Structure 1
Amino acid sequence: MKVLIVGLGSIASKHIAALRIIDPNVEFYAMRSSINADSKKGIINLFSFDDLNGLEIDFAIISNPTSVHKETVDRLIPKKIPLFIEKPLFSKLGYEEVLQEIQNNKITTYVACNLRFLDCLKFTKNYIQGKRINEVNIYCGSYLPDWRPGIDYKTTYSANKKLGGGVHIDLIHEIDYAYWLFGKPQKVNKVFSNKSSLNIDAYDYANYMLGYATFNANIILNYFRRDPKRTLEIVCDDQTLTINILKNTVYHNQEIVCMSEKTIIDTYEDQLRFFINEVLAKDNKFNTANEAYKILKICLEND
């Protein structure tokens, strides 16, 4: 298996580690932006998309800053390579023509939102089928300076609006799994701000209200909570389901009904196995670029 990496950062390293478990003989090629880029063991550096000519690449992982995803997709479409695109799909809307080009060229796409593979959320998706839901509350708060130890958080993609950062889109996982669990909302209201002591130009707080036919889903995201919290609460007619995503545990009226020892990092391998075995091998349409663009609209439309 030959895999191209565009954007050799921390997220790419997680995908690389997972792929080496799946296929110890995988060959990696990395598209680098500078001839002086460092070399990494087992990875062949490329410096031009023309260097792909003659290489039979099985798929490309796009994990560079979101602000250059559109440009990267444009460069790869003529190569007819399947695309595994790290979330979020783009940093802004207005790229419908790119989706049309993907379709015209019959490019297989998958946008990586690995929380769909977390055991507690997979359990929840099955558990709520047929149940009357009255209210949904989603919360994700953590401290941005702790995300990448040893790196000034103000220089990171997450903290910089021009790079496509901001909690409203950086934590699109919460919007994505809400869409996956409950479908497309009928109405969306939102509030974004950057009033905290982090002093970044990207949004560090987002509050969404997704309106469905019989319930509302409230989603709060922030970069400034020192004690991390990531939860989903589903209030039904006769019970309340509480999902602790950080502990991969589901509670039914405070009693544990699902517990998994797997962590979020384990989902990277599960996700790539699904991509290889189902999306590539069987053409399973799962979180394609078209679907991910609909989710991006929930995040950004009228922003």
Structure 2
Amino acid sequence: MKALVLGHGSIGKRHARVLSEQLGLEVEVVTRASECAYPHYSTLIEAGHLERFDYFVIATETNRHYQNLFDLNAAVTDRIILVEKPLFFRKSDFTNVRNRIFVGYNLRFHPALAKAHELLQGKKVFAVNVQVGEYLPWWRPGTDYRICYSAKRNEGGGVVFDISHEIDYIQWLFGAMEKLVSLTERLSNLEIDSDDYSSVIGWTERKIAVNLSMDYLSMLPVRSMLARASDASVLLDLEHGLLTSCDENRIKQTWDFSVLERDYTYREMHRAVLERQGGEACTLQQGLEVMRTIQNIYASNLKDEWHEA
């Protein structure tokens, strides 16, 4: 099986390595970079006959995703295309789909989140608190945070786009966001022009209350979810790979997934897409639903609509 990876930044390199070294695919790359360990081309046109590839991974800057996907979908038929998250830079319709398209929300394949999904199946959930935060200058060792796309609003940066994993898994577990309001701003003195903080409250279509906080600010990294159901509470700590539940009889259980190989979630996502008809991978429609929610977060920003206490 042959794969073509578009983009060779840090995430593109990871996709290429996982597909080549761990899944045994023949990998080629589209990149403007002069140094690349794989056969590579500067443009899709230079890559030649695209029908010779079975699998395409779009790992370019977020603001290029739509055009990349449009071009691939027009050029090939009945192939598999994975687009890195978030799907697009802004909410866009995507029709006339000729291929099977998925979105790279690999966090769905973390065993702790998968176990939480299992535990919450069929339960009446009342409310969910989700928090994710990490100090942006520490994200990519050896890279100046000021020049990465996260710092640049016009390249698809900003905490809402960058950490949209949480939006995806909230909607995967609890249903699409139906109503919401947010406070989304650049609060810090980080040298960026994108938002570094977002607090969102709302309801899902299943009438589950959601409180979501995302930031580039926390020097104590956090990635957690607390779900309260009628007969149990479930606490997910992805930063430390732990999952804890406590039921109405005060019976407490803890699962430890802290020893997890670095590429596990990426490899399992690719396997689901290539070997299991997608499995739990994020579909195009679900990716578009995340984009709708992102748009609503920005549209509902409360920064100019405070009620005086």
Structure 2 length-normalised TM:
0.87
The 8 Å contact of residues 230 and 244 in structure 1, kept in 2 or not, is answered as yes
**1:67-146 correspondence to structure 2 within 5 Å:** 67-80=63-76, 81-93=79-91, 95-96=92-93, 99-101=94-96, 103=97, 106-146=98-138
2:256 aligns with: 259
Contact 2:5/2:15 (8 A) holds in 1: no
Cα offset for 1:264? 5.8
What's the offset of the Cα at 1:217?
0.9
User: 2:304 corresponds to which residue?
Assistant: none
The aligned counterpart of 2:180 is 188
Alignment of 1:55-74 (within 5 A): 55=50, 56-74=52-70
Mind listing any 5+ residue stretches in structure 1 that lack a counterpart?
A: none
Q: Which residue of 2 aligns with 1:210?
A: 202
Q: Label 1:84 to 1:265 Cα distance change in 2 as closer, same or farther (>3 A).
A: same
Which residue of structure 2 lines up, in the alignment, with residue 54 of structure 1?
Answer: 49
> AA paired with 2:170?
A
SS in structure 2 of the partner of residue 196 of structure 1: coil
Q: Residues 109 and 269 of structure 2 are in contact (CA less than 8 Å); yes or no, is this contact kept in structure 1?
A: yes
What is the TM-score of this pair, normalised by structure 1? 0.89
Letter in 2 for 1:4: L
| 1:291 counterpart residue number | 286
Unaligned runs of 5+ in 2: 300-309
Q: Tell me the CA shift for residue 115 of structure 1.
A: 0.7
Q: Which runs of 4+ in 1 moved over 4 A?
A: 283-286
How many Å apart are 1:295 and its aligned residue? 1.1
Q: Which residue of 1 aligns with 2:307?
A: none
Which whole-Å CA distance do the structure 1 matches of 2:122 and 2:208 have between them?
Answer: 14
1:198 counterpart letter in structure 2: L
CA contact (8 A) 1:69 1:89 kept: yes
Among 269, 282, 289, the residue aligned to 1:271 = 269
Amino acid in structure 2 at the alignment position of 1:67:
N
Going from structure 1 to structure 2, the CA distance change for 1:201 and 1:136 (only over 3 Å counts) comes to same
2:27 alignment counterpart: 28
Which one-letter code corresponds to 1:219 in the other structure? L
Residue 214 of structure 1: CA displacement?
Answer: 4.0
Is the contact between residue 272 and residue 281 of structure 2 (CA under 8 Å) also seen in structure 1? no
Q: Which residue of 1 aligns with 2:148?
A: 156
> In the TM superposition, what whole-angstrom CA distance separates every residue of 1:52-75 from its partner, at most 9, and x where no partner exists?
333511111101110111111122
Whether 1:226 aligns to 2:222 is no
* Per-residue deviation, 1:39: 2.8
Q: Which amino acid aligns with 2:130?
A: I
User: How far apart, CA to CA, are the structure 2 residues paired with 1:286 and 1:135?
Assistant: 25
User: 2:65–2:88: 8 Å Cα contact kept in structure 1?
Assistant: yes
Calculate percent identity across the aligned residue pairs.
Answer: 26
Shift of 1:12: 1.4
Identify the residue that residue 235 of structure 2 maps to in structure 1: 242
Between the aligned partners of 2:46 and 2:190, the Cα distance in structure 1 is 42
What is the letter of the counterpart of residue 71 of structure 1?
Q
Deviation at residue 233 of structure 1 after TM alignment? 0.3
Could you tell me which amino acid in structure 2 is paired with residue 241 of structure 1? V
The residue aligned with 1:5 is: 5
What is the RMSD of the two structures over their aligned residues, measured on CA atoms? 1.9
**CA-CA distance at 1:248 after TM superposition:** 1.9
